[in-house]
Structure 1
Amino acid sequence: MHTKMKLTDALVKNFRVAKVFRENKDRINSIDFSANGETLISSSDDDSIVIYDCQNGTPKRTLNSKKYGVDLINYTHATNTAIHSSTKVDDTIRYLSLHDNKYIRYFQGHTKKVVTLHMSPIDDTFLSGSLDKSMRLWDLRSPNCQGLMHLPGRPVAAFDPEGLIFAAGINSESLKLYDLRSFDKGPFTTFKLQQDKDCDWTGLKFSPDGKLILVSTNGQVIRLIDAFQGTSLQTFMGHANHKGIALEASFSPDSQFVFTGSTDGKIHCWNTDTGAKVAILNGDHTGPVQCIQFNPKYMMLSTACSNMAFWLPQVDE
């Protein structure tokens, strides 16, 4: 595992699948790296949670959530606990001890499917958004909702890397930025963006340096926005998405590249600075690549359909 290498266009082009895991029977719906980059957790439509060892490239263990289902899995700051949304029974968010596969706490309040769930990068706060047109702020230590925002539509949301503000994308046309300490006063700024006619926003991420906001959609377009001005910097296109699927897009840790999957199983990568497509990588994924994230500490990319693939750069010895 290379940690010291600098990511360049040439290096991105050299990424190859180093390992494929077939632990799941159904699509992997979300993935999350631990902050130290040593493990990766995934949730799947087959109701299982798989934890992978990134250094050895092996599956570590599998947990099942047959009763409630599992989606939107997030590590908390302790790598032996996670939060996830439910796909069955109700729309409760669950706080799970991975160590003994027991639930520590339930967070109840949403009345429809939870579509966005994010852990704060700095503390025990987390954010959830639902098709019930609300966003809620929670603290792992209490089952009670710490804050509630009613919105005019379906939300996508994310914390900035400092954990001081969060952004909410509303109705696929406006971005609202909230200060965490005074979010009840409403957003401190709103950016209105041109609405995409044939797709909806399905994901929102700040770049690791905090300067950019990435908006992913269930269509054939990904938008890169200036986090301070709200101006549209790049529009990334050319990846296949013919099925209206929410495809994840992610930054590299240096904020220089954006990666996304496609419905034809290929991986597309763009340079955030120039907007140029850097590479189209073929990982022989059998289905749409809905999950894609770059390891925060190691030179490694993870992509998932119903199979999980670990990518490493091929370096000429």
Structure 2
Amino acid sequence: MRGRSEGRVRPIEGRCARCHTSAMRIAINGFGRIGRTVLRQVLTGARQDIDVVRINDIAPLDMCAYLFAFDSTFGPFPGEVSGADGHLSVMGRRIPISHSPDLSSVDLAGVDVLLDCTGIARSSDVARRGLAAGAAKVLISGPSPAAEMTVVLGANEDMLGGARVVSNASCTTNALAPLAKLLHRLGGIERAHMTTIHCYTNSQPMVDAPRGDYARSRGGAQSMVPTTTSAAHLVDEVLPELAGRISGAAVRVPVASVSAVDLVAQLERPVSTEALRAAVADSHVLGWTGLPLVSSDLRARPESLVIAGPETRGIDNQLRVFGWYDNEWGFSARMLDIAALMACG
């Protein structure tokens, strides 16, 4: 028995023929969970076609360095990390870091794509501050009504064009949309319901505390919390041919990392698990495992979704698909993939 599942995501070659000779220059605004995970992936060799030339975060430099060096989810960074003289130094590499709450005051001249990982770029003036600072394009790490369009790799990246402000949707949408597109091609989706079993996030309190939603006011590390998800709405946006056919809900669970998608679809024609597995083998962002894995086994996997073969089965035209996704690592990998495509557009 192998310790890893059979499928491994293939790297997306984001640099086109006319610009592959130089690394794409990106900046990171917001050095939180996604910002730090993006930098980890770049510096540990996953994306050697990318050069991080600036970081901006309102936290002090020593705190930024500490949280990058010691990560409760992914473990200590495998190299020396320090912060001094306005730079984050990682294994001898010095990255300029600023601490401006208004990104438009930061010099981003020469930056191909700004990755806005703050979670607050929801209005047009905030979302476009990276452009005002000199970046050629902006990619937002979450749903944003201020984006010109929402792009999910494996679903609608062919529609990207020359958009300058783009949303990378949500982690769950990145897991669901490529699967939905594949199932629709194989069997034709008549209707479906998706439940995401999602680890807790920073939007929830650690212990009971007032929030806008009663259930999400309860301690995220103490209970399973039924709630909503934006994924079904976003799938309507990125796959308009399926608009209105997929509903969705979420249950937040007391797990620090790795979430799951549980999709039950009524199809126009039956799709066997064998046919689904064969189709997944040709996907850049979907994986497959025939092993009886648990969530912690999928930590730091780069796929958007790893389908669990033992949990996937059909009855006539109804198919249940269960899959795992690391909602931080996999999503950050897609941020880098989409940024590379944007830089070539």
The structure with the greater share of residues assigned to helix is 2
TM-score bracket relative to the smaller structure? 0.3 to 0.5
Greater strand share, structure number: 1
Q: TM-score, normalised by structure 1?
A: 0.33
Larger Rg: 2
TM-score, normalising length: structure 2 = 0.31
Higher-RCO chain (CA-CA 8 Å, sequence separation at least 6): 2
